[in-house]
Chains A and B, each alone.
Chain A
Amino acid sequence: MTTTLRKRQANRINALRSTGPRSVAGKRVAAANARLHGLSVPIDANVYARQIDSIVSLLASEWLPVDQAKDLALRILDYERNLQQERESFAQNFLGVAAEPTVDEDAQRLELYDQYFSLPEFASERGLDAEERAEQRAFRVFARFVQRGLRRQAKDNALSAIRYQKRSSNQLIKALKAVD
């Protein structure tokens, strides 16, 4: 399916409206994104030379030009890297390998914690003085702050993982179709 001229023009206009990082600080933050998981960093042909060579030798039966075989090998490695990340993230989030509570569970717990500590009898029972109560309040504020950060981070991670996976699979499919 080819993109029509009208659609291409519309895409260009929309791209101009894109809200990418504009300030120096924003650009610095965006530049640091690649260092979080490394999924956006291209595969280094020197580092993965051995793997690339073995894939290229396996692709010999396809009678591909060497350059094309190398490109395909790079795409395969990139796709596999993303799959590995997906497996790890699934194991961590859903199979409880890391035994980390989910964000929703944390929110519920925090709510319960809030309810528990805001009870007037709690303070009298345990005999908390003003300083201790202030500490409790500060802790609650801090916990909420962490909670918000966790929620944002979880959302960002899930969305960025989808984005990188999409890109790597598209590139692999494109390279495979170019074999024709």
Chain B
Amino acid sequence: MALSQTIQELGASTPLQCYLAEKIFDCLCWIRRYEEQKRATLIREMADLLIKQGFSDDISEEKVEILEALFANELGEKLQAYMKHKGYSIESLQQKAFLNVRMRHREFDELIVLKAKTLAGFQASYEVLTNRKLNRERMELQNSLLRRDLKAIEHDDNPQKTSGQ
């Protein structure tokens, strides 16, 4: 969902409302980004368990193949055979990787919770702003109604005054 769509759906018209709509969209993006990063961390750890990272930062071609297969959820025969050779099944490999990256996942979870809370806060603030706008419009309408009534009374009063004179 694009930012313009969010702004349109929320019906933001003033700069502050647009800003809040943008921040709501931003929070959703960050939540999605952290979720994806959690998955990427797990997959990287799974690949690391299969092929240990050496001294260099470079990733071997074999490892790239494994990473691509894991990201695409495609467990070919070759990969399964390699996992078996290393003494893992997909479940045990996932479990071990989960165990290793649990602290980093906890950090991601904390960030996601923070973003979710901020999102809820922005949504509530947006409602406050929208209600405020509605209240202002209602007050303006009431005022114009009162003004009209007052004019009508003034008009009604005038003939009486003339008759009194």
Contacts and interface: CB of A to CB of B under 8 A. Distances in A.
Interface of A: 58-59, 61-63, 76, 83, 86, 90, 94, 99, 101, 104-105, 108-109, 112-113, 158, 162, 165-166, 169-170, 173, 176-177, 179-180
| Overall SS of chain B's interface | helix
Contact of A179 (B30, B54, B128): B128
Interface in B1-55: 14-16, 19-20, 26, 30, 33, 37, 40, 48, 52-55
Contact of A62 (B14, B26, B37): B14
Contacts, number: 66
Contacts of B129: 62, 176, 179
A83 B129 CA distance: 23
B15 A112 contact: no
Contacts of B33: 90
B60 interface: no
Contacts of B16: 58-59, 61-62
A177 B55 contact: no
Interface stretch (B63-71, B74-82, B110-118, B155-163): B110-118
Contact of B110 (A86, A105, A162, A173): A162
Nearest to A94: B37
Interface size bucket, B side?
20 to 34
Interface of B: 14-16, 19-20, 26, 30, 33, 37, 40, 48, 52-55, 57, 100-101, 104, 107, 110-111, 114, 117-118, 121-122, 124-125, 128-129, 131-132, 136
B118 A173 contact: yes
Nearest to B34: A90
Given A61-B15, A173-B125, 11 more contacts: A59-B15, A59-B16, A99-B57, A104-B101, A104-B104, A108-B48, A108-B52, A112-B54, A169-B117, A173-B122, A180-B131
Contacts of A83: 26
A111 B128 CA distance: 55
Given A109-B55, A158-B107, A176 B128 contact: yes
Given A58-B15, A108-B48, A169 B128 contact: no
B55 A180 contact: no
A136 to B, nearest CB: 15
